[in-house]
Amino acid sequence: MSSDTHNDMHANETAPTYGVLAEFDDVNGVIAAARKVRDAGYRKWDCHTPFPIHGLDDAMGIRPTRLPWLTLGMGLAGVACALLLQWWTNAYDYKLNISGKPFFSLPANIPVTFELGVLFAAFTTFFAVLGLNRLPMLFHPLLTVSRFGRATNDKFFISIEAKDPKFNASATIALLQAAGAGHIETVMGPKPSATKFPGWLVIAASSVFAFGLIPLSLAAKARFSTSSKPRIHIVPDMDNQPKSRAQTANALFADGRASRLPVEGTIAMGDLQEDVAFYQGKQGDAWLKGFPAQLTISDALMDRGQQRFGVYCAPCHGVSGLSDGTVAQRAEKLAEGTWVAPTKVTEPHVIVQPEGQLFNTITHGIRNMPAYGAQIPPQDRWAIILYLRALQKSHETGVSDVPARALPQLN
């Protein structure tokens, strides 16, 4: 209601002239007319056609658009941002070693760089097209002309704005007539009061904005203050359960601890390791010499040992046991100081070690070598030792040790 009275107050104000609109019947007509308008020196004018016309840009004398430069510039900015982002995150702020590759490594950075370059360029193009064309445009004075609807169907139009410095109502109309326009109409712009922003909308928008600040300010307050109350639990799921957690107190038991020890003497299934020779490599207090009695020495065990050695040992000790594994080589190259070179399996002090001691070394590790007990089952540890013995022997052997059946392969 208030807006109605608002308009009534200005009922007698005059609408300004927007410009003139000329109608043409065909493509050739509008192109010829566009050339004439262009040559007459008009700047603020446009053509409206039902479909794109090749050559119309040229006939109108439209200057090349700045859009490609915007796209190129922002595309390059995207490339720069991507490189900076990756350098900052990977090589400066939080270094992560990914399979030994350099922290800042161009080949790995290219995909993100390419995508961000394309993203910046595409967004820029999209929004620049909207901006340069002043879109979205909710109202245009030409839409008040009923004939103008045919610009989307079968007629061609040229509109010249009154804002153009060369605009002169009678002269402009005469020019369009001379150019062959079928119908010419003067178009009125909106009344000045109609272009004002409606007051009620300002109030509504400000209110929505003010209400929108409330949750934000609550969040900001919570961020910088402390509270003894539990936080708001919106989705409880199974977060709160009536059970005892580890390392907490529980009055039910005499000692007040929630965590309970197993009954004394309990052994988990499969953990009964009575055979100290097989599970610890011991014979009484001394290291076991030779292999445990329950182990069957066979070609299959030797093959298994070779294969396990290749998986667990060769990366450091080398395939031939000469401490030239790829990890050792890489560590030598990096020369980082904390590295202790792996022992050669052919060292005399290794050769004289009883099998039980070697078993213990594999199980618990030694110096820099980690414990492999958790990874390699006892049977496989013995298989590795069996292969290790063969490896040691292979370094100081002659043809006399080669079995007759394998001799032909040597030649």
Q: Which residues bind other proteins (CB under 8 A)?
A: 27-28, 52-55, 57, 68, 72, 99, 107-108, 110-111
DSSP string, 210-226: HHHHHHHHHHHHHHHS-
Nearer to other proteins, 102 or 198 (CB): 102
Which backbone phi and psi does 51 adopt, to 5 degrees?
-145, 160
Cβ proximity to other proteins: between 72 and 201 the closer is 72
User: Least distance to other proteins from the beta carbon of 57, Å?
Assistant: 6
Query: CB of 27: closest distance to other proteins in angstroms?
Result: 6
Residue 382 contacts residue 302 (beta carbons within 8 Å): no
What is the side-by-side strand order in the sheet with 17-24? Answer: 45-48, 156-161, 17-24, 183-188
DSSP 229: S
Backbone phi, then psi, for 15, in 5-degree steps?
Answer: -75, 140
Of 55 and 370, CB closest to other proteins: 55
Identify which of residues 31 and 383 has a Cβ nearer to other proteins in the complex: 31
Smallest gap from Cβ 25 to other proteins, in A, equals 15
Q: Please, which residue, 108 or 222, has the CB nearer to other proteins? A: 108
End-to-end CA distance of the chain: 109
The two tokens of residue 204 are 């509504």
* Residue 55: φ, ψ to 5°: 95, -5
Min dist. Cβ of residue 373 to other proteins (A): 31
- Minimum CB distance to other proteins, residue 349 (Å): 34
* Closest CB 107 distance from other proteins, rounded Å: 5
What are the helix and strand counts (H, E) for the chain?
15, 6
Report how far apart, in Å, the C-alpha atoms of 162 and of each of 133, 134, 141, 159, 167 are.
Answer: 19, 19, 12, 10, 6
Q: Which is nearer to other proteins, 77 or 173 (CB)?
A: 77
- Least separation, in Å, of the C-beta of 59 and other proteins? 12
- Distance set, CA 321 to CA 19, 310, 345, 388, 395 (Å): 93, 10, 5, 8, 10
Task: Specify the DSSP class assigned to residue 394.
Answer: H
Closer of 109 and 244 to other proteins (Cβ): 109
Minimum separation from the CB atom of position 73 to other proteins (A)? 13
**Three-state secondary structure string covering 23-67:** EECCHHHHHHHHHHHHHCCCCCEEEECCCCCCCHHHHHCCCCCCH
DSSP state of 161: E
Closer residue to other proteins in complex, CB, 31/376 = 31
